[in-house]
Copies of this chain bind each other. A is one copy, B any other.
Amino acid sequence: MDFSSKLLEQAVDEMSQLPGIGKRTALRLVLHLLKQPEAQTQNLASALTKLRSEIKLCKNCFNISDTELCDICANPARNEELVCVVEDIRDVMAIENTGQYRGHYHVLGGKISPMDGVGPSQLNIHPLIEKVKAGKVEEIIFALSSTLEGDTTNFYIFKQLEGTKIKTSTIARGISVGDELEYADEVTLGRSIANRVPFESSLKG
C-alpha cells in the first residue's frame, strides 16, 4: 500500500501486527479512530499501555490480576485442594461462567509446542509441581484443549508428578448437550461411549 502520510503508515503498520488484522482492516480501524473524538484514541492508547506495564499475574495461580493474589485464590470459600489446570485466562473465564466450579485454577500460560518454540520452562509448570509436592493439592483436573500440544502438556505434567499421591483427572469429552449423534466425529463418540456415566447422574443437570 502506498500511503500519503508516514504517520498513517506507522499507525497502520503497528495495528496490522495484531493477529488476524491485515493491512486493509488496520487502515479501516485507524481511519475510524481519526473520525472519532481525540479522547477515544487517547483512552485506547493509555488503557493498553497501562495494562501492559501494570498488569500482575496472581502469585499463586498465574491468572491475570490487579492484585498480588487474584480474587479466586483470595476467596476463602473456594477449595484450594482442587486445582484445574488451564491454558490461559479465557479458559478461567469460560469455566467461571458455568458457575459450577468451586476449586482453584492454575494458568499455564500456553501449551508445550516445540514447533512454536514453547518448552516446559516457558510455562508455569514448575510452580504447579512445587505446589503439589508441598502437599497443598488433593486433585488436579487437566482442562487443556485435546490437541497434540494439549495432550503433550498434560502428559509432561503427569510424568513430573510421578511418585506423589496426587489424584489426576481430565474434563469429560463427549457429545455436546443438544448435539445430534450423527454429526459427531468418531473419536468423540467413541470416548463418550467408553466413558459413559450412570443414568441417574445425568439427571442432575
Q: Which chain A residues have a beta carbon within 8 Å of chain B's beta carbons? A: 1-8, 10-11, 13-15, 17-21, 25, 27-34, 38, 40-55, 58, 63-66, 70-72, 88-90, 92-93, 96-97
CA distance A203 to B55 in the complex (A): 63
Pairs across A and B, CB under 8 Å, 23 listed? A2-B93, A4-B63, A4-B71, A4-B89, A4-B93, A7-B54, A7-B55, A8-B89, A10-B50, A15-B47, A18-B33, A20-B25, A31-B88, A31-B90, A33-B48, A33-B51, A34-B64, A41-B48, A41-B49, A41-B52, A44-B48, A45-B46, A45-B49
One complex includes copies of this chain to the number of 2
Bound-complex Cα distance A49 to B48 (A): 12
Q: Which of the residues B1, B6, B46, B92 comes within 8 Å of A66, measured between beta carbons? A: B6
Q: Cβ of B33 and Cβ of A52 under 8 Å apart?
A: yes
**Which residue of the partner chain, among B20, B58, B97, contacts A2 with CB atoms under 8 Å?**
B97
Distance of A34 Cα from B1 Cα, bound (Å):
28
Chain B minimum-CB-distance residue to A39: B52
B residues in contact with A13, CB < 8 Å: 47
Query: With A and B bound together, what is the CA distance between A34 and B18 in angstroms?
Result: 11
Known: A15-B44, A19-B29, A90-B27. A4 touches B70 (CB 8 A): yes
Contacts of A92 in B (CB 8 A): 4
Instruction: With A11-B47, A34-B51, A44-B45 given, name 19 new contacts (CB 8 A).
Output: A2-B93, A2-B97, A4-B64, A4-B93, A5-B55, A6-B66, A7-B47, A7-B51, A7-B55, A8-B51, A11-B50, A17-B40, A18-B32, A19-B29, A19-B32, A21-B29, A28-B90, A30-B48, A42-B52
